């Protein structure tokens, strides 16, 4: 352990490619990836993550600051240019603590075998950093590996077009070497992304992913990443979570530091609604790779799903410091504001998202949903028409996913379920987990059609043992300070939320969580419901019906009542803790 703590860390920045060589941009990260591979395989030097390298390439930071902030001892940077009829690679190695230049190297390389010149360069870097000679690196380079590295360059761009380009290079790699296990696994990951995001027909994409991951494991069953790829297919296509866990355990058995495995493990726990476990794995990925936006995105989603909206906003603001232009972060912030009741801010976030990503149907859908919540029904219908005009590719599930969100906002529940069923039929990977976890769908969770969809995805909720105390049917009228009123059976009340002189009352109606805002103080609502023993004031701004399936969470700093069927956690004031806990025990058993 002591020896590991003393390992020197080296950062290789993506090499700058001369502007006239723009078609060779892949060499920028390709050289970085290959040097990292050679150094980690042939020395005790510790390399930094890809995201750290890319971030520091895009943000000019003094070397001594890099040493202080990231505990990096050496930095390698360089240029790729074409001069005097030849491709040239210029490399410099710096010591960060005093910015000393340890060596500078220039060498010519052949474009059709560019990895071959990196063996000797890696030897020089290791020797200059460690201060002693190293054995000759004899890693055999091939065209297959060069194509693989080109594929990785495009894969890390994550867009549909770039993923398709990555697939082309991974296939070229396999054509050169039929035993290239990492290219098969990367193909599997690529097709999983296509199926998960609905870039093309999901079911066909996942079938291809399964075929390639099986081949990767057949060639080499000792690679950790291949088991992660297998788990990816298990989670998003087969919906076999038990098998996914077995594959992830094997991946970590082979490499306990596999960040990709911890990232997918967080996904696994999300699908099981085990948010505390998901957060542990997400936190580990951020600790090891603090500048990788996908890891921050995972943590933000976990907080949103767990109804911890302020905590989600804190993570969003931190991630904005890494990339303030990220459209994913805009979407997350829009949802956080939406769930916190900051509707004006949510609309602005979703409008900014749409301006940046005008071909994304979900950007239209999110804004349409927010407009509906603000009673801007004409604007919502206009966005629905624009989604139709996008002419989204058939059979991907994306159109159905987007329309389901819009229809949910418009309270058209029959249309919502029609589109939701169709999206599941088409196999779009991300939709079922969103259905299970995203609070936006809380209002329909108790509908039998919703549970049927989850059952089909092998994501059905655990059967609750809670049995509400049933009373004879009755009705009560909540009279507001205006002519408006609300009549309902008090047994169906879920909770009441107050905001100034208005209260929003939430109640269940045949499996749908409905709500209505009245001009009335919470005290007057409390007075009118005083005869119902299970409905209590738990906070200065909330009342709740304890005769429903709830859990009481928290500690001495504060308690919350929560349920999968409620869009928010209901806070409990300290002054009311004792009474609420006693009543909670009475009704929850």
How many angstroms separate the CA atoms of 325 and 310, rounded? Answer: 21
Residue 137's pLDDT is 58
Residue 409's pLDDT is 97
pLDDT for 499-522, tens place per residue? 989 999 999 999 999 999 999 999
Q: Is residue 496 helix, strand or coil?
A: strand
pLDDT for 116-162, tens place per residue? 889 889 999 999 998 765 556 555 668 999 999 999 999 998 899 99
CA angle 490, 493, 497 (to 5 degrees): 125
Kind plus residue range of the DSSP H or E element containing 571 = strand 570-572
How many angstroms separate the CA atoms of 258 and 270, rounded? Answer: 19
Half-sphere exposure of 197 (CA within 13 A, CB side): 13
Residue 1 pLDDT greater than 60, yes or no: no
How many angstroms separate the CA atoms of 69 and 532, rounded? Answer: 58
Hey, which residues does 584 pair with through a beta bridge? Answer: none
Report the share of the chain in percent with pLDDT over 90.
82
Residue 133's pLDDT is 54
Residue 5 pLDDT greater than 90, yes or no: no
Q: In this structure, are residues 561 and 570 in contact, taking their beta carbons and an 8 Å threshold?
A: yes
Residue 465 pLDDT greater than 90, yes or no: no
b (16+ CB within 10 A) / e for 202-237: beebbebbbebbbbbbebeeebbbbbbbbbbbbbbb
Q: In this structure, are residues 397 and 198 in contact, taking their beta carbons and an 8 Å threshold?
A: yes
Kind plus residue range of the DSSP H or E element containing 365 = helix 361-373
Domains (range + CATH), the chain? 2-141 (3.40.50.10070), 143-256 (1.25.40.10), 263-353 (1.25.40.10), 359-463 (no CATH), 476-588 (2.40.50.1020)
Residue 226's pLDDT is 96
313 contacts: CB under 8 Å, gap ≥ 6: 333, 336, 337, 340
The residue to which tokens 């009118």 are assigned: 528
Residue 138's pLDDT is 58
3-state per-residue secondary structure call for 261-315: HHHHHHHHHHHCCCHHHHHHHHHHHHHHCCCCHHHHHHHHHHHHHCCCHHHHHHH
Please give the model's pTM, rounded to 2 decimal places: 0.90
pLDDT for 286-335, tens place per residue? 998 999 999 999 999 999 999 999 999 999 999 999 999 999 999 999 99
Structure tokens at 473: 């049917």
Ranking 148-157, 230-239, 517-526, 555-564 by mean pLDDT, the lowest is 555-564
Residue 204 pLDDT greater than 50, yes or no: yes
Report the share of the chain in percent with pLDDT over 70.
97
pLDDT for 443-453, tens place per residue? 999 999 999 99
Structure tokens at 150: 């080109």
Distance of CA 156 to the CA centre of its chain: 15
Ranking 329-343, 350-364, 463-477, 540-554 by mean pLDDT, the lowest is 463-477
Residue 209 pLDDT greater than 80, yes or no: yes
pLDDT for 155-182, tens place per residue? 998 899 999 999 999 999 999 999 999 9
DSSP 489: -
Residue 157's pLDDT is 87
How many angstroms separate the CA atoms of 580 and 574, rounded? Answer: 10
Report the pLDDT averaged over residues 173-201. Answer: 96
Q: Is residue 494 helix, strand or coil?
A: strand
Kind plus residue range of the DSSP H or E element containing 537 = strand 535-539
Residue 6's pLDDT is 65
Give me the chain's average pLDDT, please.
93
Residue 3's pLDDT is 42
């Amino acid at each position: 352990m002591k020896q590991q703590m003393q390992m020197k860390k080296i950062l290789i920045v993506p090499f700058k490619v001369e502007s006239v060589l723009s078609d060779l941009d892949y060499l920028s990260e390709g050289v970085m990836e290959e040097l990292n591979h050679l150094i980690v395989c042939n020395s005790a030097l510790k390399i930094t993550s890809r995201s750290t390298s890319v971030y520091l390439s895009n943000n000019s930071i003094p070397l001594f600051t890099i040493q202080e902030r990231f505990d990096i001892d050496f930095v390698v940077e360089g240029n790729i240019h074409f001069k005097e009829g030849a491709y040239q690679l210029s490399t410099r190695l710096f010591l960060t603590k005093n910015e000393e230049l340890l060596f500078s190297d220039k060498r010519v390389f052949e474009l059709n075998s560019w990895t071959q010149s990196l063996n000797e360069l890696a030897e020089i870097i290791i020797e200059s950093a460690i201060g002693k000679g190293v054995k000759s690196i004899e890693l055999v380079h091939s065209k297959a590996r060069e194509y693989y590295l080109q594929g990785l360059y495009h894969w890390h761009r994550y867009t549909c077009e770039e993923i398709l380009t990555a697939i082309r290079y991974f296939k070229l790699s396999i054509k050169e070497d039929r035993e290239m296990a990492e290219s098969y696994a990367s193909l599997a990951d690529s097709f999983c992304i296509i199926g998960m995001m609905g870039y093309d027909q999901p079911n066909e994409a996942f079938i291809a992913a399964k075929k390639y991951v099986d081949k990767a494991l057949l060639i080499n069953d000792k690679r950790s990443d291949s088991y992660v790829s297998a788990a990816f297919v298990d989670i998003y296509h087969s919906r076999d979570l038990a098998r996914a866990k077995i594959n992830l355990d094997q991946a970590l058995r082979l490499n306990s530091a596999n960040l990709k495995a911890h990232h997918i493990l967080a996904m696994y726990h999300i699908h099981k609604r085990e948010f505390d476990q998901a957060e542990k794995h997400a936190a580990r990925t951020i600790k090891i790779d603090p500048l990788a936006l996908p890891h921050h995105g995972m943590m933000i989603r976990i907080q949103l799903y767990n109804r911890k909206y302020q905590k989600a906003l804190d993570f969003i603001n931190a991630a904005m410091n890494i990339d303030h232009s990220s459209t994913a972060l805009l979407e997350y912030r829009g949802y956080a504001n939406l769930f916190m009741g900051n509707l004006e801010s949510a609309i602005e976030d979703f409008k900014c998202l749409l301006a940046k990503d005008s071909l994304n149907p979900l950007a239209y859908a999110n804004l349409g949903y927010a407009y509906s919540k603000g009673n801007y029904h004409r604007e919502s219908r206009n966005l629905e028409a624009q989604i139709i005009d996008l002419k989204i590719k058939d059979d991907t599930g994306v159109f159905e996913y987007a329309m389901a969100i819009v229809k949910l906002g418009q309270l058209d529940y029959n249309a919502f379920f029609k589109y939701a069923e169709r999206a599941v039929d088409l196999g779009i990977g991300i939709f079922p987990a969103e259905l299970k976890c995203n609070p936006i769908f809380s209002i329909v969770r108790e509908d039998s059609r919703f549970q049927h969809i989850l059952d089909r995805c092998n994501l059905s909720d655990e059967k609750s043992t809670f049995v509400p105390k049933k009373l004879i049917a009755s009705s009560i009228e909540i009279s507001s300070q205006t002519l408006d009123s609300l009549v309902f059976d008090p047994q169906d009340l879920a909770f009441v939320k107050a905001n100034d002189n208005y209260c929003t009352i939430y109640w269940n109606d045949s499996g749908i969580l409905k709500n209505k805002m009245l001009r009335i103080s919470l005290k007057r609502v409390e007075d009118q419901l005083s005869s119902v023993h299970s409905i209590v004031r738990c906070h200065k701004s909330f009342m709740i019906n304890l005769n429903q399936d709830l859990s009481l969470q928290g500690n001495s700093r504060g308690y919350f009542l929560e349920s999968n069927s409620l869009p928010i956690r209901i806070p409990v004031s300290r002054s009311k803790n004792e009474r609420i806990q006693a009543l909670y025990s009475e009704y929850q058993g």
